[in-house]
Structure 1
Amino acid sequence: MDEFPDGDHETTTEGSGGREISRKTALKAALAAGVTVPLAMIAVPALARTNVTTGAAPELTPPCDDGDDPTPPQMEGPYFKPSSPERTNLVTPGTPGTRLTVTGYVFGRACLPVSRALLDFWQADNNGAYDMAGYTFRGHQYTNAQGAFTLTTIVPGLYPGRTRHIHVKVQAPGRPILTTQLYFPGEPRNNTDSLFDPRLLMTVRDGQGGKEAAFDFVLNVPQTGTPTTSPTTPPTTPPGSDSWVAGTSYAAGTRVTYGGRAFVCLQGHLAQSGWEPPSAPALWRAE
């Protein structure tokens, strides 16, 4: 089967954009860090998932896009192989490793689900090795009518120089390919991996017999309708009192100010340019 039409196996972006983060992304980061989430924030992303689960079309609200960019792309890396088998389960009996189930949805820019979207996953095994001879821990699938997908796999091992991650290509029918990577919260190497992007953190929790993760993709796919927004005004602190400094190691719970606003650290990390608190809600929560 030709998974991607026209032989396009190169990294094709859906749009890079800046570091603005949607409420959906901020909610996932807060849940992953185990912090309390304001009810107003929960109500927005929950709407799309609730409606999709019940089979109704999501209303045009901001759960998947409130002015932010689509899911950011990342490099393909050297281990992609075309023509992976169609399957949702990458685990065979006796496969070593911690079982992992990843679920989520694929949305377009109007917060409507994308059915029959192609998702091609590949990852390292429990020892951090990629199978280049066959198709172990490789497989593609399609979203259902509600735009949902489920992947059964294991937590990938550590590959030299990288943090834990899962590669994926996502393509709506007849649209360009989004190539990106998914990350795990709380990984020490997230702080040193130059490719790590907090916008691509999955929500991960302990489940029966392993881990359960969730991530929703937003593709640059035009859809009928324009999502509405409900901007909020965050509390501020007096300007000129910034205490966040790039190059500083911050522990979870640390409080800083940036741009006249107060933030609390959600997970320990080494601060760097581009991860300023307003641009990295996976790492900082505005107070």
Structure 2
Amino acid sequence: MTNFIAKNQALDSPNLKELLSVVAMLRHPEFGCPWDLKQSIKSLVPHTLEEVHEVVDAIEKNDMAGLRDELGDLLFQIVFYAQLASEEAFFNFDDVAKGLIQKLVRRHPHVFPGGEVDNFGAPQQISSDQVVVNWEKIKEEERRGRTDKEISDAGSGESVLGDVPTAVPAFERARKLQQKAASVGFDWDDPKFVLAKLREELSELEEAYSNGLEVDEARVKEELGDVLFTCVNFARHLRISSELALRSANQKFDSRFRFMENELQRLNIGFKDVSSADLNKLWNKSKQSGS
């Protein structure tokens, strides 16, 4: 079963080899691209984040042609990182691919019994929930198997939260922290308790905002953070992505606001020429229109 591969996926793609060569050429000290030559692993980070967001945007728009293009841009980032690391003799693209293969096989014992690719194809009875449980157990075993130097270099110590990255978006890091804490039993038993906690945090935020004549910005910021953290926790309990929920709300606002713009343009009126009450009526009209 080791020769199984998805239809239309080349086993030995000449395009991938050429891609690696092209990126190496871009970094050629004499004939390469000045912009690419200036880049470092750290300087690429904002570009990588931008490409990830563009991939998500193409998916949400169901734009398959755009997705193919954006995935190419994201792949370029990965190959670029590997090229930079190779120049410093840290690792190369082949090392990245090899490590990924080993990790995927190791973390999917229900697909590759005994951790061997050659064992693919053996029937396994396992639920998706059990897959998640096993996945976390395997990751924990991997964490425990790391050398003291690896742990020290990563700055993770022995904490259960040690392998939660700090650079991920705040909503996602909150979810990961909560999930890790839950894995050792520190969690709410029922979403209704999280909702009660959210009401408590909202009350504290309101108190911080209305406490005296001058707003204590530091305290408001702290309480607002607690509200957002609890919102993420509530979403996690309901198995809802808080990031996707907020993206959906953003899109809804975008659509309704554009509806208002179109209505005002049709009447040849600007926002500043309309009262707050009439703007609210127009907003409600946009909601009723299904925008």
- Choose between structure 1 and 2: higher helix proportion: 2
Larger radius of gyration: 2
- Choose between structure 1 and 2: higher strand proportion: 1
Q: TM-score, normalised by structure 1?
A: 0.23
Larger RCO: 1 or 2 (CA < 8 Å, sep 6+)? 1
